[in-house]
């Protein structure tokens, strides 16, 4: 092998080993918390919850997370035939409309359940914090619902 | 000619002695010609010659690994989302990342 080739090989091996060391270091430092844990920790810090309130808020969330997962699966199942409509050209428009109406009813129920949960959480907070919490989260939830509906509608129009 | 017949040339060659001494700058001339034929090494060959020694290779490798680990420690992986976004992701059934469950 030529000296240049040996040098290139050495540089490649060094870079590969350094990249591996970097990856192992960063992965070992990566937080192992779930999204739910990170979210709850943020809630506690942001809205200055004391330990007792945080415990109650966490319990409320644990119950809600189960319900939320179920709702998400229901929405995903209801969305599937609407979002994949392009592959089902043979379907009748009436059939799709019925499915769309079912999906919208389900989304309405889910949005209400989430809003109720957030209001319930807010009742455990100090009034100014509760107000700020609802002002922070409810508009985002509403916006996500609108975006979701827009996505489904545009898929139906295609 | 039979193989056992002596070759008269053998005797002559045995008696032949070189009378000439090599010129005084013979060795220098040989080295000069070798130097003329040998090209200058390229910079990459010089670097390779300098670097590719076992001790230096180990040193370079260890330095690279130490730098990589130090970089990894000073630049730990973070979330692409803000904690508020993560909270919304965990509670909103309309969040596109919700069902994935993992943090981007």
According to DSSP, residue A152 is labeled H
Give residue A92's pLDDT: 63
Task: Give the nearest partner residue to B83 out of A26, A42, A140, using CB atoms.
Answer: A42
Residues A60 and A122 reside in one and the same domain: yes
Residues A7 and A47 in one domain: no
Residues A38 and A111 in one domain: yes
Residue A76 and residue A104 in one domain: yes
**Of the ranges A13-22, A47-56, A77-86, which one carries the lowest mean pLDDT score?**
A77-86
Residues A19 and A40 in one domain: no
The count of structural domains within chain A is 2
Residue A93 sits in the same domain as residue A48: yes
Sign of CA pseudo-dihedral A34, A35, A40, A44: positive
pTM of the predicted model as reported, rounded to 2 decimal places: 0.60
Q: Note down the domain range covering A53.
A: 34-157
Rounded to a whole number of angstroms, the distance from the CA of A93 to the nearest CA of chain B is 25
Do A122 and A47 belong to one domain?
yes
- Pairwise CA distance, residues B83 & B62, whole Å: 37
| ipTM of this complex prediction, to 2 decimal places | 0.75
Does position A25 have pLDDT exceeding 50, yes or no?
Answer: yes
Interval A68-79: pLDDT, tens: 888 888 888 888
Instruction: Examine the domain organization and report whether A11 and A61 are in the same domain.
Output: no
Q: What is the pLDDT of residue A122?
A: 95
Looking at residue A31, what is its pLDDT?
76
Residues of chain B positioned with their CB less than 8 A from the CB of A38? 79, 83, 86-87, 90, 103
**Alpha-carbon span B63 to B72, nearest angstrom:** 14
Please report, for the domain that includes residue A123, its CATH number. Answer: 1.20.120
- Same domain membership, residue A70 and residue A2: no
Residues A134 and A152 in one domain: yes
Domain match, A62 and A77 both: yes
Confidence check: pLDDT of A106 > 70 = yes
**Residue A139 or A151, more confident:** A139
Are the Cβ atoms of B84 and A18 closer than 8 angstroms? no
Mean pLDDT for back-to-back runs of 10 residues, chain B (104 residues): 74 82 87 87 86 92 96 84 88 77 48
Asked if B58 has any chain A CB less than 8 Å from its own CB, the reply is no
What is residue A87's predicted lDDT score, i.e. its pLDDT? 55
Q: Do residues A14 and A38 both lie within one domain? A: no
What is the distance, to the nearest Å, from the Cα of residue A16 to the centroid of all Cα atoms in its chain? 35
């Amino acid at each position: 092998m030529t000296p240049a080739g040996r040098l290139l090989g050495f540089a490649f091996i060094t870079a590969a080993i350094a990249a591996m060391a970097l990856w192992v270091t960063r992965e070992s430092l990566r937080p192992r918390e779930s999204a739910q844990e990170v979210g709850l920790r943020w809630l506690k810090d942001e809205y200055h919850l004391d330990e007792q309130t945080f415990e109650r808020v966490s319990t409320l969330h644990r119950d809600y997370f189960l319900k939320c997962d179920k709702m998400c699966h229901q929405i995903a199942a209801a969305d599937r035939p609407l979002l994949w409509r392009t592959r089902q050209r043979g379907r009748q428009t009436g059939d799709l409309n019925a499915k769309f109406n079912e999906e919208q009813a389900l989304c309405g129920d889910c949005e209400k359940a989430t809003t109720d949960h957030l209001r319930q959480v807010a009742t455990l907070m100090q009034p100014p914090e509760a107000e700020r919490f609802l002002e922070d989260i409810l508009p985002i939830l509403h916006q996500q619902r609108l975006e979701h509906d827009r996505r489904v509608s545009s898929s139906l129009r295609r | 000619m039979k193989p056992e017949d002596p070759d008269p040339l053998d005797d002559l060659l045995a008696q032949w002695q070189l009378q000439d001494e090599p010129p005084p700058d013979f060795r220098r001339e040989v080295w000069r010609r070798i130097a003329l034929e040998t090209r200058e090494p390229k910079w990459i060959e010089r670097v390779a010659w300098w670097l590719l020694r076992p001790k230096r290779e180990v040193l370079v490798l260890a330095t690279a690994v130490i730098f990589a680990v130090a970089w990894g420690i000073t630049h730990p992986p973070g979330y692409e989302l803000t904690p508020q976004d993560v909270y919304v992701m965990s509670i909103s059934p309309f969040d596109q990342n919700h069902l994935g469950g993992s943090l981007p």
